[in-house]
Amino acid sequence: MRKVFVFSLTRRDTTSSRLERIIVIATVLTIGLFFVTSPVQSKGRGGSRTARTNALQAGIAKVDITPKKPVKMAGYSSRTGLSTGIHDPLSARVVVFGNKGKRLVLVSTDLLGFYGGTAEYMRKVILGEFQLEPSELFLSAIHTHAGPGLTIDKEKGHPNNLEYTEHLKAKLIEVIRKASSNMGPVNIGAGIGYSPVGMNRRELRIDSSGNSSIRLGRNPYGPTDKEVLVVKMTKLRRTPDGADGRTIAALFDYASHATCLGGKNYTISGDVLGLAEQFVEKILGDDVITAGFAGASGNIDPWFRVLPAFNTESGWIPEPVLLGTMLGEEVVHTFRNIGKVSGGGEIATAFVTLELPGKPRSEDTIEKDHPPTGLNITAARVGDIAFVGIGCEVLTEIGMAIKAASPYKHTFVITHCNGAASYLPPEHLYIEGGYEIRSSPFAPQAADIVVKHAVKMLHEL
Ligand SMILES: [Zn+2]
């Protein structure tokens, strides 16, 4: 993390001339200047000294990715037909950061996730197209269950979904290129708000025989991460009084499934997180691109969950709109309270694929010699704001543990990022069982390994 360079200068020769002393001081100053400006050696966390020497650049862009044709929708296996309409548009939003040749590309898509090998497929294309290191790309989805499914399976995939996936690939290239082409110096700042929109969904049920089980429902006593992390980005305008330029982007991270809508819904929507993005853009202006990210929300659903449709009763505010607006309003409140934005900020990134202890999916059993399950973890920082991307559905306790142990005040935990390896629950929940445990391809001890690795990566950035 932070590296401190200590210069120890001991001179025993008291007879040395004044000229010699000047040469030594000049040499030390020159070396010191080298360390301050060298891209390899400057590992400061965006402090005042680096702020003067690093010019953080960023570019932003947004593209519409609403399906043009009816598609098979993702997220509920019970839903077999094609989509019948569109409630609100889906978008891909991109922020490209750059500093001293190092880049960080954050991609937020209004989709369920990159399942069925599509994460690897899209990442390979994007990394190649833009000559990025694997650690420089966060390809993520907000996990809406009212969007199209992605597929590259020519045998089993629906033709419209195959076509959509190829179209999406072209759109992602287009939007990253657009963001890369409008880069300029920026100021960034971060803030923390809180929202009750997300609710722990692991509900304890006890049947008439007294047997207990954990079902998907509502558990108001279970843990939820109420933090709404927000980043504000403004153009750096060099005025005599140092005033900031216009606002160009907002990023937010919140831990909830986007599942206000259930398996009976056939209408395309960004659901809670997508509607929150759209609300913020409506309030702050269309030119302030607002990219949302799903935090560690494997066991968190919106307060109103899996409803059959947008309620059209007169006077009723449809629940996805209500909750999306509520989350969006907190993003705006937090955004407006971010008083301090600053320039500078170095970029550091890291990427690892962990081979974690595995278990059979869709079973409660733990097999001793089950083959490991791979999981991608990506870590990055821009100045003193950190990002951890995890390629699966992380239960909320794990995200909270990473944030609590992070050396950064503002740490975005971004799930459904650079992979789609299903649920990762914390060890203590395996005793209770339930949907996330049964679906998980990971053995109980995997979560602790992930937390330790993610925190280690953050420390080493
Ligand atoms: Zn999910």
Distance, CA of 143 to CA of 106 (rounded, Å): 16
- Contact, 399 vs 413, CB < 8 A? yes
C-alpha 341 to ligand 1 mean position (Å):
34
Distance 141 CA to ligand 1 centre (A): 11
Q: pLDDT, tens digit, for every residue of 66-81?
A: 999 999 999 999 999 9
44 has a pLDDT exceeding 90:
no
Q: What is the DSSP annotation of 238-284? A: --TT-----EEEEEEEE---B-SB-TT--EE--HHHHHHHHHHHHHH
Burial 323-355 (b: 16+ CB within 10 A, else e): bbbbbbbbbbebbeebeebbbbbbbbbbbeebe
- pLDDT at residue 241 in the model: 57
Span 352-370, pLDDT tens digits: 999 999 998 876 667 677 8
Determine the Cα–Cα distance for residues 188 and 186; give it in Å rounded to an integer.
Answer: 7
Q: pLDDT band at 16, cuts 50/70/90?
A: very low
Q: Are 402 and 414 in contact (CB under 8 A)?
A: no
Which is nearest to 197 in space by CA: 240, 228, 162, 237?
228
Strands 423-424 and 393-394: parallel
Listed in sequence order, the residues at least 6 apart from 22 whose beta carbon sits closer than 8 Å to its beta carbon are none
Q: Are strands 137-141 and 212-216 parallel, antiparallel or unpaired?
A: unpaired
Q: What three-state secondary structure class fits 162?
A: helix
CA 363 – ligand 1 centroid, Å: 17
β-bridge partners, 108: 93, 140
pLDDT tens sequence across 437-448 = 999 999 999 999
CA of 143 to the centre of ligand 1 (A): 7
Q: Which residues are CB-contacts of 296 (< 8 A; sequence separation ≥ 6)?
A: 225, 255, 390, 394, 395, 396, 397, 398, 399, 400, 402, 413, 415
**How far away, in angstroms, is 297 Cα from ligand 1 center?**
8
DSSP string for residues in 168-226: HHHHHHHHHHHHHHT-EEEEEEEEEEE---EEE-EEEEE-TTS-EEEEES--TTS----
pLDDT at 240: 60
CA of 451 to the centre of ligand 1 (A): 20
Cα 257 to ligand 1 centroid, rounded to whole Å:
6
Q: Which residue has the higher pLDDT, 245 or 37?
A: 245
Residue 458 CA to ligand 1 center (angstroms) comes to 26
Q: How far apart are CA 8 and CA 256, in angstroms?
A: 52
The alpha carbon of 109 and the centre of ligand 1 are apart by a number of angstroms equal to 15
18 CA distance to ligand 1 centroid (A)?
Answer: 71
φ, ψ of residue 351 in degrees (nearest 5)? -145, 135
At 179-211, the pLDDT tens digits run: 999 999 999 999 999 999 999 999 999 999 999
Q: How far is CA 204 from the centre of its chain?
A: 30
Residue 76 CA, ligand 1 centroid: distance in Å: 9
- Kindly give the distance from the C-alpha atom of residue 23 to the centroid of ligand 1, in angstroms, as a whole number: 64
Token readout for 90 is 């889906």
Query: Does residue 28 carry a pLDDT above 60?
Result: no
Cα–Cα distance for residue pair 155/172, rounded to 1 Å:
24
Ligand 1 centroid–CA 447 distance in Å is: 17
pLDDT band per the 50, 70, 90 thresholds, residue 38? very low
Tell me how far the alpha carbon of residue 148 lies from the centroid of ligand 1, in angstroms: 15
| Pairing outcome for strands 102-109 and 91-99 | antiparallel
Q: For residue 1, how far is its CA from the centre of ligand 1 (angstroms)?
A: 33
Residues 302-307 have a mean pLDDT of: 98
Report the Cα 79 to chain-centroid distance in Å.
27
Distance 75 CA to ligand 1 centre (A): 7
Question: What's the CA-to-centroid distance between 337 and ligand 1, angstroms?
Answer: 32
pLDDT per position as a tens digit, 406-439: 999 999 999 999 999 999 999 999 999 999 999 9
Q: What percent of the chain has pLDDT over 70?
A: 85
User: How many CB atoms sit inside 10 A of residue 287's CB?
Assistant: 12
Q: How far does residue 317's CA lie from ligand 1's centre (Å)?
A: 25
Q: Would you state the pLDDT for residue 286?
A: 85
89, pLDDT greater than 80: yes
Encoded amino acid at 158, one letter: H
Give the pLDDT score at 105. Answer: 98
Q: Is 261 exposed, middle or buried (0-12, 13-18, 19+ CB in 10 A)?
A: buried
List the one residue out of 231, 269, 270, 282 whose CA is nearest residue 95. Answer: 231
Give pLDDT, residue 232: 96
Name 358's bridge partners: 442
Using a 10 angstrom Cβ sphere, with 0-12 exposed, 13-18 middle and 19 or more buried, the burial of residue 208 is: exposed
Distance 235 CA to ligand 1 centre (A): 36
Cα 393 to ligand 1 centroid, rounded to whole Å:
6
Q: Rounded to the nearest 10 degrees, what angle do helices 271-284 and 319-337 cross at?
A: 50
Q: What is the predicted pLDDT for the residue at 172?
A: 98
Residue-level pLDDT at 361? 84
Work out the average pLDDT over 282-286: 94
pLDDT band at residue 238 using 50, 70 and 90 as cut-offs: low
State how far the Cα of 307 lies from the Cα of 264, in Å rounded to an integer. Answer: 8
Within 13 A of 113's CA, how many CA atoms are on the CB side? 26
Instruction: Tell how far the Cα of 435 is from the centroid of ligand 1, in angstroms.
Output: 10
Ligand 1 centre distance from Cα of residue 299 (Å): 8
Specify the 3-state DSSP secondary structure of 442. strand
Break the chain down into helix, strand, coil percent, rounded to 5.
30, 30, 45
CA distance 117 to 122: 9
User: For residue 195, what pLDDT is reported?
Assistant: 98
pLDDT above 50 for 272: yes
270 Cα to the center of ligand 1, angstroms: 14
What is the C-alpha R_g of the chain? 24
CA pair distance 100, 346, nearest whole angstrom: 8
Map tokens 């839903």 to a residue. Answer: 79
Asked if residues 87 and 267 have their Cβ atoms less than 8 Å apart, the reply is yes
Please, which residues have CB within 8 angstroms of residue 330's CB and are 6 or more apart in sequence?
A: 193, 194, 195, 228
* Interval 390-404: pLDDT, tens: 999 999 999 999 999
CB 60 within 8 A of CB 249: yes
As a whole number, the mean pLDDT across the chain is: 89
Distance (angstroms) between ligand 1 centre and the Cα of 213 equals: 20
Distance in Å, CA 385 to ligand 1 centroid? 26
Q: pTM to 2 decimals? A: 0.87
Q: pLDDT at residue 231 above 70?
A: yes
Say if residue 124 is exposed, middle or buried (CB neighbours under 10 Å; 0-12, 13-18, 19+).
exposed
* Mean pLDDT lowest among 324-333, 338-347, 380-389: 338-347
Res. 36 pLDDT band, cuts 50 70 90: very low
Task: Kindly indicate the confidence band of residue 236, based on its pLDDT and cuts at 50, 70 and 90.
Answer: confident
Q: How far is the CA of 423 from the centre of ligand 1 (A)?
A: 8
What average pLDDT score do residues 12-22 get? 46
**Ligand 1 centre distance from Cα of residue 394 (Å):** 9
